[in-house]
Structure 1
Amino acid sequence: MKELKRRKKLKQCGAEEEQLVHKTEPKKKKQKLERTKKVEEEVEDLTAEERRTLERKLKKERKKEEKKLMREAGMAVRKEEPKKLSGAELALEYLARWSKKPNEWKFQKTRQTWLLLHMYDKEKVPDEYFSILLDYLEGLQGSAREVTMQKAEALMKEYDSSDTEDPGLLEKCERIRKVLQLLS
């Protein structure tokens, strides 16, 4: 049964290559196709490992040929890599999952650390997420809770001593106050 599937795959490979032959460079393609057919005839005498190796080689050649055809046609040959999310996006997604889907949520130290470091920055943690973050901070335990409270107190003292009326600073102070009230 497996051997039949392999033969079908090899025949399909031959059919695909035959289609390519008719599109471009007929002479070279026909020669290559003839070599492939000879190889397919010899496949029956090969062991399973040799057959797999041969199939891999044929697949590699097909891909190489496809890329060549794409280049000749003027199309860009580029692999699209999946978009990687930034640390901020991952942390905010983590927070949203905590609030909306608690059964799918799993604690991640790196995400919590990022949130605790950037929670006062309105650009990194928008207001809609900050309210969720405050709920999250209620469950904060151990040294993370203590350190967060100490840092908030230190920042509050620092900002109280400064005389600037910067709106961004006032927003940070407001967030710090909220965190201090919550953790006290």
Structure 2
Amino acid sequence: MAKDKKTEKREKKQRSSEDNCDPPVSKKKKHIAEVSEESDTEKTGEVPEDPIEDLTPEERRVLERKLKKKRNKEEKRLKKEAESFTKESEEEPAKVSVDQLAKDYLKSWYRKNPEWKFQKLRQTWLLTNMYDTEKVSNKHFKRLLKYMAGLQGSARETTIQKAENYMKEYDQQETQDEADEPKLKRMRAVLQLLS
């Protein structure tokens, strides 16, 4: 008999907890899905029945968040489409290449333009590419030599070290290419100037 009373108590607890519990989660999700589908009908212009009144406060919050996410997503999509349309219709100014900016920097320095000011990035590009005859023409290289006469600090030391390393590599090569001749002349000019 003692077992029967215990089982009766358990059954009573289960019944009372079932009565106090919310409906199963899957039913909530179905209801929210139905409501969100009805919100889609709002876009089409049909007037839906008001199922929100049947929802608990928690379900309403969840539903409102979902609807807000959908609206935000749609707004972003429309905004992107509008931006892409305006970008296509506007003509973008031609972008100036890095090498052209560096050459203009050097030209401005050479002509003693009062608007000229030091730019580390331009100087670095010029010093890195000065041996390449395709990137820096002979005319620009002559200007660059005059510019390098005023080099100071680590830029000067680094430029000398690189030129010496290039000379060592060139001397260690078994075959000397005629294509390397302009590069070799430039290295010698830099070393004479800075040493």
The TM-score normalised by the length of structure 1 is 0.57
- 1:97 maps to 108
Structure 2: distance between partners of 1:81 and 1:88 = 20
Query: Gaps spanning 5+ residues in structure 2: where?
Result: 1-81
CA shift, 1:165, in A, is 3.2
- 1:73 maps to none
Residues 58-97 of structure 1: CA deviation (Å, up to 9, x unaligned)? xxxxxx9xx9xxxxxxxxx632101111110000000000
- 2:136 maps to 125
- 2:4 maps to none
Residues 114-152 of structure 1: CA deviation (Å, up to 9, x unaligned)? 001000000000000000000000000001000110110
Task: Report SS of the residue matched to 1:133.
Answer: helix
The TM-score normalised by the length of structure 2 is 0.54
Aligned length: 110
CA shift, 1:160, in A, is 1.2
Residue 109 in structure 1 maps to residue 108 in structure 2: no
CA shift, 1:104, in A, is 1.8
Rg larger in structure: 2
- 1:79 maps to 90
- Give RMSD over aligned pairs: 1.6
Structure 2: distance between partners of 1:151 and 1:127 = 20
Structure 2: distance between partners of 1:132 and 1:94 = 11
Identity rate of aligned residues, in percent?
A: 56
